Structure 1
Amino acid sequence: MSTTPESVDELGPVDYLVVEFPPGAQNFTGEMAGELAKLAEAGTVRILDLLILQKNEDGSVEAFEMDDLDEVEEVVALEAHIAEILAEEDVELLAAAMVPGTVAGVIVWENSWAAPFASAARRAGGQLVATGRIPIQAIVASLEAELASEEGH
């Protein structure tokens, strides 16, 4: 991905995720690829990197770019836009979190929907000083606790 100072100023926040699939629970139907393609086509996200990691029982890791695999049709259209920004060291760090015998999908994306706000914040002199993500389990637990306390009153 070639970037100029102007294009860097126009980028939205960039996130990544690793989704692990344990042995026996690897039900790859193409549904995930279809949903990812919809997000990219809608301009919600821009996929920067996408790969599959397989961690063998001995702990060794194999990484596959999308062009190494029998691609799902929806992902083929994304390939032209993928920058492949993850380095070998990044893959090793991500794979360290995996359990032997599992397969994981790794996605790096730009939050295109947030790019105009991020650009405006930078032009105003703002800098990102913290970011985070609240796990859905924490939100569910909080909602359940609130409901329980309401029922107790």
Structure 2
Amino acid sequence: MTEADVHGPVDFVLLEFREDRLTGRAADELLRLVDDGVIRLFDVAFVGKTADGEIYAVDLAAEALAEQLGLNAFAGARSGLLADDDVREAAQVMEPGTLAALIVYENSWAIPFIAAARESGAELVASARIPAADVMAALDALEQAAEPLQPI
């Protein structure tokens, strides 16, 4: 089995933004991850939710804001893995008056490791994702609970 026959884990994230907080920095970092070969983008879809709760699709090719924030680079990121129903379902958890990016990506950094593991006869039997906010909260709690070192 070669690395060309192997895929890394595929994840999705839904990132919700308030329009007054859109800077384009997240888009720049996402593009850097792609350029560095850390991830491979399969799908990027933008969806909005009005203050009244109406869900609407955002056409990046037609939005001036997309060009201003550097988001138009994602306009063609559609593999077909992400269906319109998936976007509508994801939008259900959004707060009114927000804009969100639904991103499906492959963790391409893992491909050599997965290929080596499979060549060794390993099979993935469990996997989980711990949200970054949960990790940061747990680390903060551990730091708060840690007793200070006493001088010797």
TM-score when normalising by structure 1: 0.75
Q: Which residue of 1 aligns with 2:126?
A: 130
Aligned residues: 146
User: In the TM superposition, what is the alpha-carbon distance from 1:78 to its structure 2 partner?
Assistant: 5.4
Distance 1:143 1:57, change over 3 A: closer
Which residue identity does 1:21 align to in structure 2? F
Pairing 1:58-73 to 2, within 5 Å after superposition: 58-70=52-64, 71-72=66-67
CA distance in 2, matches of 1:102, 1:44: 28
Q: Which residue of 2 aligns with 1:3?
A: none
Pairing 1:88-107 to 2, within 5 Å after superposition: 88-107=84-103
CA contact (8 A) 2:44 2:77 kept: no
Q: Which residue of 2 aligns with 1:145?
A: 141
1:52 to 39, 46, 49: 46
CA RMSD of aligned residues (A): 2.9
TM-score when normalising by structure 2: 0.75
CA contact (8 A) 1:49 1:84 kept: yes
CA distance in 1, matches of 2:41, 2:106: 6
Offset from partner CA, 1:35-94 (integer Å, 9 cap, x none): 111111111111111121101233321122533434448555555664243111111110
CA contact (8 A) 1:11 1:112 kept: yes
User: In the TM superposition, what is the alpha-carbon distance from 1:126 to its structure 2 partner?
Assistant: 4.1
What is the DSSP-based 3-state SS (H/G/I as helix, E as strand, rest coil) of the residue aligned with 2:48?
Answer: strand
Q: Which residue of 2 aligns with 1:19?
A: 15
Structure 2: runs of 5+ lacking an equivalent: none
CA distance in 1, matches of 2:41, 2:123: 24
Q: Which residue of 2 aligns with 1:120?
A: 116
User: In the TM superposition, what is the alpha-carbon distance from 1:139 to its structure 2 partner?
Assistant: 2.5
User: In the TM superposition, what is the alpha-carbon distance from 1:129 to its structure 2 partner?
Assistant: 3.4
